[in-house]
Structures are given as C-alpha cells and as structure tokens.
Structure 1
C-alpha cells in the first residue's frame, strides 16, 4: 500500500534539511534519495517543501525517499555534551516523535516503516507466517534503542524470544509451562525441536548448540538482574549499550535458528 509522507513529518524534514544543507548539497541529497524531477525554484526551505510534496504526488514509494533523506541526520554520531550537537539531538528527537505520532519509525539503513501499535500480537502473526523480514525489523528496533535504553532493549529482545517460543508451543499444542518466562518456554520448545547438543555427532556443532542454550539463560538473567541492584550496599548493575547489542544479536541468531528448525519439521 502506497503511504504518503505525513504533513507534520514533511514540514519538519523540509525545515531540517534547509537548515543543514546548502543549495548544492540539498539538490544532491534529494537526488540521491530519488526525489522526482528537477530541483524546484525558490529558497532552500521552499525547495525542500516543494520537492517532498512532489514525492508524495509522483513517487512510487514516498517513504523510501523520506528514509534516504533522513539517513544522515538520524544516524549521525552526536555528542550530547556538545552544545551544537545538543540542538541536533533535539531536532532528531522531535522528528522521531512526529514519525511516531503518524505510526511510523525510522529504521537504520535509510528506511521509514510502519510502527506496530500492538507489537506482541503482530509479532506473533509474523512468526506464524514465517515473515522473517518483519521479525528482523523487531530486532533492529531493539538495536536502535540500545544506545539510549539498553535495559529496555534487552527486555525487547527477550520478549521476542519468548514470543517465538510461545507461538511454537501454541501451534504445536504443547503444554504451556505454569511459569511463562523465557527459560521455561524455551525448555519446552528446545525439547520438542530436539535442540540437544548430546544428540549431535559433530563436536563443533555441539559447542555452538551448547553456547545457544547458555545464551537463553544469559539473556533471561540479564533482563532480571539489570533491573535492580544485587542486594543492599552493592553497586547497581551497569548495563552498557555494547552489552545490550550483544544480547540482542545473540537473541536474533537463536530466534532464527528456532524458526528454521521448526520449519524443517514441516510446521513453520
């Protein structure tokens, strides 16, 4: 379905690009983004507005154009302690909020996609349909949050893994454990799919599978332990973005392995 650039997002993008670019770089940016036609006449702001409106009218996918325009602004590495960068961060946050208000989000790599209003239910549908691209987007969303909210990003990765396991349990008619945390539902799915290092002859694969099993316990524990200090008098758990990204990528690998193993059985 063809989706237009919302008016509020269009206005903020025109304002941002006209502030950051010269006429020459603005022309180059919009041409790179695939904005249709020659550069419009007028000031930088008027040019950007007209070109974005033309994209809404003539482009096959206006959001693709928008994503490429925003790529440099949304992914630029900024220093929150620098006075000039603070302003850029504020502009980026304002644009992200405008996208969210229109049920959209920026995804790394120059893409603007729909934001899911009911993530768990929608994710379950994706899992049942074997829509790996959409599942990848859920993990990418977690990666995007790792820098600003590493604990929430780890929780998101853990929730995706839980959803994968719960869908397999429901679709296969397996008994749902009374405690439905990650480790419990994983135990049911692991047994059903035969993910058991002792049943694999190749030693290298044994080691990898053993590591994957440890990943589940690590992610579940990390989500729990990072939420609070370990007892009175001890320093709080300091979860850094690099830790969050490690957990997210590990969870992504495991989720795809489970889905592929399920599919191999003829059920996924």
Structure 2
C-alpha cells in the first residue's frame, strides 16, 4: 500500500530514535501523541520503535506514513547544530533511507513522494487561508509537549510566530528582512497592522503592541537558549512547565490577534 512505511526506513528510524531519546517514557509519549495504535509493544528502545511502526503498517485503519511523519517531526525539524552532531547525522540517515524508497521528509511532519508536493496543508497554508482550527491544533500539539519536553514546546511556538510573520509579509507584499528570525520579522509586520482610530485607544493599543514585541523577543530568546531546534548542549538551562506554558500561551494570543486582524482588513485568498 502507498501509505506503508518501507521496512528499510523502519530499521533506520528505529535505530536513530532509540539512540536520541534513549527513554521508554519519552518514546511511549511520542508514539501515543502521534496517533500510533495500541499500547506499548515492549522490548528495548529500538525494538519498541520497530514494533510500533510495524503495527502502524499492519493496522488497516491507520495512515502509517502520516503517523510516521508525526513520530519523527520533533527530531527532523531541529536545525543542524555543531553541539549535537549526532542529530545532524541521524537526520541524514533518515533522509537517505527515505530517498532510496522515493520518499522525502518535509517540514511539519509530512512524508511525500520525492519530487512531489504535500497533499496535506502545511502550517503556512493554514495561515494563508485563516484556518483557525488547524492553528489551534498546532498550539495544542505544542501544549501537549510542555510537561514531557518544554524545550520542544518553545520551539514549536517560536516556529508558528515566524511562519505567521512570513505569511503576513508575503500576503501584504512587504519587504522581507535579511535576517528571517522572529524579532526582525515582527518589526516589519507591526508597521502595517493598523491601530484604533480613537486617539486615546490608539495610544493604549501602542502599549499593547510594544508588549507583544517583548513577548516575541522573549519566546525567540527562549528558543535560542533552550529550544530543541538549536541543540541543547551538555547542560542546557532548565525550564519548568509553567514557564514554557506562559511562553506558548503568549505566542498563541499574538498569533490569533494577527489572524483576526487579517479577517477584518484583508480579503481571503
């Protein structure tokens, strides 16, 4: 079947994930959150991954490649890091294995035929059409990581902010900044959002927007220091769930605000 995970890919991915997570509890959470069927199949970390991915293939009601994409998303969406060479090596092993089977990995957990485009919508697509429900799902996914992996939750929240700003710049036809990270992107976006026409409320709204800039700065700084995308080093700074939740919820407020502004001042595409 077209949606089955090739056996050679299962072998490579199981080895990579087992070495990276090296924790039964983390692997259990990862597979269950990704929609893998059934309970923990047992075995060592590598065997557990193999058995669960094989179970995805064997279950006729499961889109095995869709589950597989979600399983490897957290690992594959990390940016290359000199501090974690093993991550870069693992990503290459997975990509090479997929390529041999005429498949490729796309950002946000999509597995597609090599050379084709994802049939499902990406995060940017959700933003372009103002798909609030799908954006809520992305934030729910970030929230679900807070207790087990607050670093990954921070990375997800920051990525959504950056995608939102890039989409806004593209929709309005603004000039993309040279450095495409959260703060430079936000500086471009906030200039055209528009303020309340009432003079008093206009000043109040300016203060709120200044606060939003601080939120973006804080979330981006968190991501740099402890987010999963930049490598965590041997002893990364600690962050507790409540701190990660504050950052994710703040990012959620900002994203929904801008999307609602689009609904009011921009036509649907």
What TM-score comes out, normalization by structure 2 length? 0.52
Which whole-Å CA distance do the structure 2 matches of 1:199 and 1:180 have between them? 33
Whether 1:224 aligns to 2:187 is no
Q: CA deviation at 1:207?
A: 4.9
Corresponding residue for residue 82 of structure 1? none
Corresponding residue for residue 66 of structure 2? 103
Q: 1:96 to 1:182 in 2, by over 3 A?
A: farther
The answer as to whether partners of 2:195 and 2:206 remain within 8 angstroms in 1 is no
Q: 1:95 to 1:166 in 2, by over 3 A?
A: same
Whether 1:237 aligns to 2:200 is no
Q: 1:121 to 1:190 in 2, by over 3 A?
A: farther
The answer as to whether partners of 1:195 and 1:209 remain within 8 angstroms in 2 is no
Q: CA deviation at 1:147?
A: 1.9
* Structure with more contact order per residue of length (Cα contacts < 8 Å, sep ≥ 6): 2
Aligned residues: 176
Corresponding residue for residue 153 of structure 1? 153
Q: 1:204 to 1:195 in 2, by over 3 A?
A: closer
The answer as to whether partners of 1:169 and 1:176 remain within 8 angstroms in 2 is yes
Corresponding residue for residue 184 of structure 1? 184
Divergent runs of 4+, >3 A: 92-102, 115-118, 202-210
Whether 1:163 aligns to 2:169 is no
Q: 1:162 to 1:227 in 2, by over 3 A?
A: closer
Corresponding residue for residue 251 of structure 1? 251
Gaps of 5+ in 1: 1-5, 7-73, 76-84, 107-114, 229-234
Q: 1:184 to 1:203 in 2, by over 3 A?
A: closer
Which whole-Å CA distance do the structure 2 matches of 1:177 and 1:195 have between them? 23
Whether 1:130 aligns to 2:130 is yes
What TM-score comes out, normalization by structure 1 length? 0.52
CA RMSD, aligned part only? 4.3
Q: 1:131 to 1:208 in 2, by over 3 A?
A: same
Which whole-Å CA distance do the structure 1 matches of 2:133 and 2:180 have between them? 26
User: Which one has a bigger Cα radius of gyration?
Assistant: 1
Q: CA deviation at 1:263?
A: 2.2
Gaps of 5+ in 2: 5-31, 34-39, 57-61, 72-108, 112-117, 229-234
Which whole-Å CA distance do the structure 2 matches of 1:207 and 1:255 have between them? 17
Whether 1:142 aligns to 2:105 is no
Which whole-Å CA distance do the structure 2 matches of 1:193 and 1:202 have between them? 12
SS in 2 for 1:103: helix
Which whole-Å CA distance do the structure 2 matches of 1:173 and 1:207 have between them? 26
